[in-house]
Amino acid sequence: MSLAAAGRIVRTASAIVSRPSTTSHVLRVDGYSHLVGVLRNGEHVDSCVFDAGGHSWRPQLYPNGKNKKHRDHIGVFLQLAAAGGHPSDSDGHGSAWLMSPARRRRRGTPEFMGSTMAMTGD
């Protein structure tokens, strides 16, 4: 006979607790003017992998834009990396902001910057 059938009240409880992971990573570019001169539109340079939110990420810098549409802009992307720092085939999601070191505030315009971006391994 179950407890409910015996007239006893059965109470259960559960909880799901989720807290965002916050990690800060500084990407410093030395020799930016040189990179603009040697890399064409669509070409990038990779930085070192860092860990955040339980995943490994590789910053990629496109000094002359990632594609023809953005050739007059700098592009900074986060590539989701698999074990060993190699590109991953899966998708990841995260938030990123450009910060002005002098002003200590977020930078960017809504047309080019989103506070939340999908980050893929391609």
Give the tens place of pLDDT for each residue, 32-55. Answer: 999 999 999 999 999 999 888 788
What is the Cα–Cα distance from 63 to 73, expressed in whole angstroms?
7
The H or E element that residue 34 is part of is helix 32-38
State if pTM tops 0.75: no
Ordered by start, the domain boundaries in the chain are 32-119
Q: How far is CA 3 from CA 10, 49, 67, 83, in A?
A: 7, 55, 66, 49
In which band, very low, low, confident or very high, does the pLDDT at 89 lie, cut at 50, 70 and 90?
low
Annotate 35-97 with DSSP letters as a single string: HHHHSPTT--EE---EEETTEEEEEEEETT-SSGGGTTS-EEEEEEE-GGGPBPSS-EEEE--
94-115 per-position pLDDT tens digit: 555 555 555 555 544 444 444 3
Comparing CA positions, the residue from 66, 62, 61, 60 lying closest to residue 87 is 60
8 A C-beta contact, residue 82 and residue 58: no
The CA-based angle 47-51-53, given to 5 degrees, is 135
